[in-house]
Structure 1
Amino acid sequence: MEQVLNKIRVLVVEDEIVVSEDLQQRLSGLGYEITGAADTAAAAIRLAASQRPDVALMDIMLHGRPEGIDAAEHLRGELDIPVIYLTAHSDTATLHRARFTDPSGYIVKPFDDQQLRVAIELAPFRHEMERKARRVARWMTATLTSIGDAVIATNTHSEILLLNPAAEKLTGWTQDEATGKPSGEVVRLVNQKTRQPLEDPATRALRDGLVVRLDPDTVLITREGGERFVDDSASPITDETGKVLGAVVVLVDATGRVAAQNRVDTLTRQVKGLLAEKDNYELKGAELEAFATAVSHDLRGPLQAIAGFSELLARSQRERLDASGQLFLDRVHASALQMGCMVEDYLGFLKSNREQTLSVTELDLKHLAHAVFAELALVPGQKPAQFVCEELPRAWGDEAMLRQVLVNLIGNALKYSAQREHPMVEVGAIAGEEAGEDCHTFFVRDNGAGLDLANAAKLFEPFQRFHSTAEFPGTGVGLAIVKRIVERHGGRMLAESQPDAGATFFFTLPSKAPGMTAALQ
């Protein structure tokens, strides 16, 4: 929107003075602002770093050498500035190299005003769309990496493209070692009873064009020669036109076979959507909404059933099971409960990204904090904690959303201080008027395990955990949701902590109604 209201700022990089002057005059006549002109790659980089133009017009050949490509690589990769190449004629090798710098367009000399206008107007827009797509791709890649089951993706020739960390651990192959190898070499399957080799599931899915699943007696032969019972699902990956892009295979350790089967389909759809969108280099919000709806519908009910029936089975039939059977039953029940928490947290994170309307009212956060603590402190078996809540200034915001902020922060405080002899949770504030600001700073403090803030930049990112699930259960989504909600209210987040010395999380909220209106814009 800013580039529509303001002039697009253009850097000109051209070694022929006459051409450069003509180009600058044309651009000025078309209403663009010239941030500078350079005739070498070094000068172009210096000007771009200091002036930060919206787009650069870059001659590929500068003084007889393809220096424009080197400059474009720096502008695109280091400064995040879109580049449009100016070219008259270049050899095939130079053009091939230029293409790999991901330019925003080409203008062939001699150029005309219409050609310039179209290329310059489209370049910033295309660059911004690509930036958003890259952010979404990174987010989805983080999601894929956090998945506990083994995920393997292939191309249309059944050659390995991707192994997530769980797949590396299960098969014994690393991503670098497996890339490009036939899927059947990495995913070696045999029937445990007959010892007959089984056809590679990715190849079957690509050939038949259908989702395929393994028999219950399937065993995976790891790279080191070990054997593991696995459940498996494989499916072709297609784009919106029906074109086959490859196949995805999901391998699950069969110890929790019944619980795992309910997760496989959803994971397969998730990975199919991820790879199809990465191929298209674009991900739309509507598809994320569809994914959230599918997860809610397909997983909530079955997971509750698994947890409930496994608990009933444990109560009525536990004594009839041997030690291994009891262990497997406990794992099924625990996995169902954990997966249920993950589903709710993932859905909460997706919902926090939506541009839903805020219902802004003046809030009594002290009353809200006491209500949340009273609710969370009633968990059976949880050690009683001391709760300190001083007088809090009133703030403006959406009550439901800010309640979720307190639920997540106070819930974390209770969880991470539960192992202390005397757990303590404190809620306080620093009034904004005292500091001459239009916002109040609130905090939630505990005397729990604390954390190392060496990687503080990742603290509020989704799926980031600083403790193992064996120490403290969780999915790594709660703080990301808190940050999203606080930012929706025009606030900011800050954390202070040291290992074994507790943690304090600060967040700001508007102190006045007019300030809230401005912040939300």
Structure 2
Amino acid sequence: MKEKILVVENEIIIAADIKSCLQQAGYIVPGIAAYGEQAIAKAEEFAPDLVLMDVMLKGKMSGIEAAAEINSRFNIPVIYLTAYSDQSNLQKAKTTQPFGYILKPFEENQLITTIEIALNKHQKEVVMREALEQEKERQKSKSQFFSMLSHEFRNPLNSISVCAELLTDHSHQLNADKKEEYLNHIQKSVQHLENLLNDVLLIGKAEIDKNQFKPQPIDLETFCRNLVTDIQLGANTNHNIIFKSIGSYSITNNPIISQTPQLISVDEKMLRHILTNLLTNAVKYSPQGGTVKFEIFYVPGEVIFRIQDEGIGIPEADQENLFTSFQRGSNVGNIPGNGLGLAIVKHYVELHGGEISFASKPGIGTTFIVNLPV
């Protein structure tokens, strides 16, 4: 589809000629204006890709003033049409950063060529501007990440330092129980630091894994059953993980019931991390125990994983930022964690071209759903 060009011209006959020329070249002319105020209104209404602006317009507003307004409000490129080449007008026009000048009378080839050059230049500027904004946002996110990371490391380090100082300087005043309490506190802090460091390294590896995403066919049901067995062994006896596979997948993309193993192409390491994180979270955030349901659904074009717990749930105010690094529910209390796991999970899901969503209610439980294309 060709670009839309708004024609703003003082002379109606010239405007009609320009419109006819542009339409013959395949461009769309959504409107013609002869007044500056009218040009601004039409620019807002039609959102053209480019404006051909006569320097001398009817009414109180000049073409240069109208162009400045259109550029600042809508970021639409402007090419000036003028029968004058005096230095005064040219200097005023330059301040609006136009994408070209056409002196009247002009040839059709000159008009079309100038328009094509202007559109191409504007498109490149848009791409560069978007890339710059993305880089600024990336740098901002990186700065925030390292600021939060510093805070997360500082807390357990301070705790270790305080406990070590008490054991060193006041050991003779502490009984055996108190010494054991401080040592246990140090061990827990060290474990927290180790977990945090592992997750940070995993985030760095996740960036590398963009180029190392290597899906391979696996027996998905066997993979998931083995995973459940491993996690159930590490869970308390009051947690019960129930696994169910609903249907299986045929090469014709139709859900079928089959007793033969079905091979699904995924990155096994990434899928293991995704499901392990979600299942261990389901257990961890169900401190009173209960049932964790783990189900696989096969539908045309994708496989769906659903993990449902009966735990503490996620407060509504915390749900928007759940996949942001270092963000945790405000109701987790003393349950250990650093808020990095789900950010990594989301990244791995997206590398598969999939989606992750959830529904949660405090005191009732949480359900995570992962959709992966097959």
Query: Pick from 7, 27, 37: which aligns with 2:31?
Result: 37
Aligned partner letter, 1:9 = E
Query: Pick from 485, 507, 514: which aligns with 2:370?
Result: 507
1:320 alignment partner in structure 2: 168
Measured against aligned partners, the alpha-carbon deviations of 1:488-515 in whole angstroms (never above 9, x if no partner) come to 43433221111222111112233xxxxx
C-alpha displacement of 1:35? 5.8
Residues 466 and 34 from structure 1, CA distance in 2 versus in 1: closer, same or farther, beyond 3 angstroms? farther
Q: Distance in 1 between matches of 2:17 and 2:340?
A: 55
Residues 373 and 47 from structure 1, CA distance in 2 versus in 1: closer, same or farther, beyond 3 angstroms? same
1:428 alignment partner in structure 2: 295
Aligned partner letter, 1:424 = T
Q: Distance in 2 between matches of 1:25 and 1:322?
A: 93
2:101 alignment partner in structure 1: 108
Aligned partner letter, 2:190 = H
Q: How much is the aligned-residue C-alpha RMSD, in angstroms?
A: 4.3
2:352 alignment partner in structure 1: 489
Query: Pick from 165, 190, 198: which aligns with 1:333?
Result: 190
Query: Pick from 66, 74, 78: which aligns with 1:85?
Result: 78
Equivalenced residues, count: 324
Q: Distance in 1 between matches of 2:135 and 2:118?
A: 26
Aligned partner letter, 1:123 = H
1:138 alignment partner in structure 2: 137
Residues 386 and 15 from structure 1, CA distance in 2 versus in 1: closer, same or farther, beyond 3 angstroms? farther
Residues 71 and 477 from structure 1, CA distance in 2 versus in 1: closer, same or farther, beyond 3 angstroms? farther
Query: Pick from 229, 246, 249: which aligns with 1:374?
Result: 229
Gaps of 5+ in 1: 1-6, 77-82, 100-104, 152-165, 167-251, 260-306, 511-515, 517-521
Q: In the alignment, does 2:207 pair up with 1:350?
A: yes
Match of 1:106, SS?
coil
Measured against aligned partners, the alpha-carbon deviations of 1:305-324 in whole angstroms (never above 9, x if no partner) come to xx9xx9xx97xx9843448x
C-alpha displacement of 1:450? 1.3
C-alpha displacement of 1:107? 1.7
Query: Pick from 40, 48, 57: which aligns with 2:51?
Result: 57
Query: Pick from 256, 261, 279: which aligns with 1:410?
Result: 279
The structure that has the greater radius of gyration is: 2
Match of 1:109, SS?
strand
2:6 alignment partner in structure 1: 12
Q: Distance in 2 between matches of 1:60 and 1:481?
A: 55
Q: Distance in 1 between matches of 2:322 and 2:30?
A: 40
Match of 1:500, SS?
coil
Q: Distance in 2 between matches of 1:60 and 1:473?
A: 67
Residues 497 and 119 from structure 1, CA distance in 2 versus in 1: closer, same or farther, beyond 3 angstroms? same
Measured against aligned partners, the alpha-carbon deviations of 1:458-481 in whole angstroms (never above 9, x if no partner) come to 444555443478544444443343
Match of 1:86, SS?
strand
Match of 1:34, SS?
coil
Q: Distance in 2 between matches of 1:357 and 1:456?
A: 29
Aligned partner letter, 1:347 = G
Identity over aligned residues, as a percent? 20
C-alpha displacement of 1:390? 0.9
Match of 1:412, SS?
helix
Q: How does 1:392-407 map to 2 (within 5 A)?
A: 392=246, 393-394=248-249, 395-407=264-276
C-alpha displacement of 1:386? 0.9
2:176 alignment partner in structure 1: none
Match of 2:294, SS?
strand
Match of 2:314, SS?
coil
Residues 502 and 331 from structure 1, CA distance in 2 versus in 1: closer, same or farther, beyond 3 angstroms? closer
Match of 1:147, SS?
helix
Quick check: 1:84–1:119 contact (8 Å CA) kept in 2? yes
Measured against aligned partners, the alpha-carbon deviations of 1:100-132 in whole angstroms (never above 9, x if no partner) come to xxxxx6222336544332221232243134324
Match of 2:147, SS?
coil
Match of 1:148, SS?
helix
1:359 alignment partner in structure 2: 215
| Larger RCO of the pair (alpha carbons < 8 Å, separation 6+) | 2
Q: Distance in 2 between matches of 1:145 and 1:390?
A: 41
1:283 alignment partner in structure 2: none
Q: Distance in 2 between matches of 1:119 and 1:481?
A: 43
Q: TM-score, normalised by structure 2?
A: 0.67
